[in-house]
Structure 1
């Protein structure tokens, strides 16, 4: 069993709420028997476009290989102006060729995989993001089981807040372990 978390933080360095939540969830799903890799998208050279390979220097084919070899795919995003982040939008755009293949009757390289969502923020946007990503998952063959999203809206996620990684982890463990456990069980159960 393999899980890939596509981490859409905008931060190359320093504390990221979404990266910390991804690490928290990764520890939970590993306890349930799944390998888990976090792919930090901002560290990759993923070229703009809507095809599987946009040419020399494009890191997307290697990231796509990780996704297609996974059983579970997680989109992890902060909320920006009520929406998912630009890195996650870029992944949606790069997966468009899989949708083109489906429309051409070829089927999806992602059929039967399970999809989950991790969201961090300090304001509204969770339902909008969850709806958009879940709709996208369905369009490319990824199953979205019930309880497959974990959203944390917290004052500690405000742009000017300066919590430590330990403070964030403590909050996640105290408030969200039960939700994360349920999410991990649902995702694993849907691909077994």
Structure 2
């Protein structure tokens, strides 16, 4: 059984710069790799993503449709976001809006497109807001059809105010964060396998197209 994971890193930094969010994402990807998960990590700041609540291109430069194709092929979707002013990044909000734009589409059984996919989140920052960001992202994924396993919100925050973030502060040595990264990785994998073997029955959740 092949499980595919797609990670959308919504850091405001492109891939030419180190990302604290990517560093924590890698703790989960490491476990995915050990368990044979085929994982792809995309840095959203590397792409031109137009504004709108649609899965289709909103302008000639909009690269969301190619990202959306990868979402459709994934069994696991992991969203990563830094914290700014206690909230998710603007790119994370943009990605949620674009995911929402495809939420009315259906699978071959007539269920919403994101059924039988599992979702989780990774959050980093050096200020409060991790649970606020997690609650927003997890609710958004659940609302549009993703299955949310238990304990799939992995986060790290340092001391309040300006200061070192995950990489500089050696957040990968934080016992709580590393433990929850492990829990999140395995729970995402367990549920992805479960839904592969036992998809959600097409009963009472088939969308009437008329």
TM-score range, shorter chain: 0.7 to 0.9
1:55–1:24 CA distance, 2 compared to 1 (3 A): same
2:32 pairs with 1:29 = yes
Rounded to whole Å, the distance in 1 between the matches of 2:72 and 2:173 is 30
Change (3 A) 1:123 1:171: closer
TM-score (norm 1): 0.86
Q: Deviations over 1:93-122 (max 9, x none)?
A: 1122223447xxx63221110101000011
Residue from 62, 69, 90 that aligns with 1:58: 62
Given candidates 128, 132, 146, the residue that maps to 1:128 is 132
Q: Is the 8 A contact 2:103 2:113 kept in 1?
A: no
Give the match's secondary structure for 2:24: helix
Determine which structure has more spread, i.e. the larger CA radius of gyration: 2
- The answer (yes or no) to whether the contact 1:99–1:139 under 8 Å persists in 2 is no
* Conservation of the 8 A alpha-carbon contact between 2:125 and 2:165: no
Aligned to 1:70: 74
In structure 2, the partner of 1:45 is 48
TM-score by length of 2: 0.80
Instruction: Report deviation, 1:177.
Output: 3.1
Give the SS at the match of 1:187: helix
> Between Structure 1 and Structure 2, how many residues are aligned?
185
Shift, 1:21, TM fit: 1.3
Determine if contact 2:126/2:163 at 8 Å carries over to the other structure.
no
* CA distance in 2: counterparts of 1:180 and 1:22, whole angstroms: 8
- Extract unaligned runs of 5+ from structure 1: none
Q: Distance between the aligned counterparts of 1:35 and 1:177, measured in 2?
A: 21
Distance, in Å, in 1 between the alignment partners of 2:171 and 2:165 is: 14
Q: Secondary structure at the match of 1:95?
A: helix
Find the counterpart in structure 1 of residue 102 from structure 2: 98
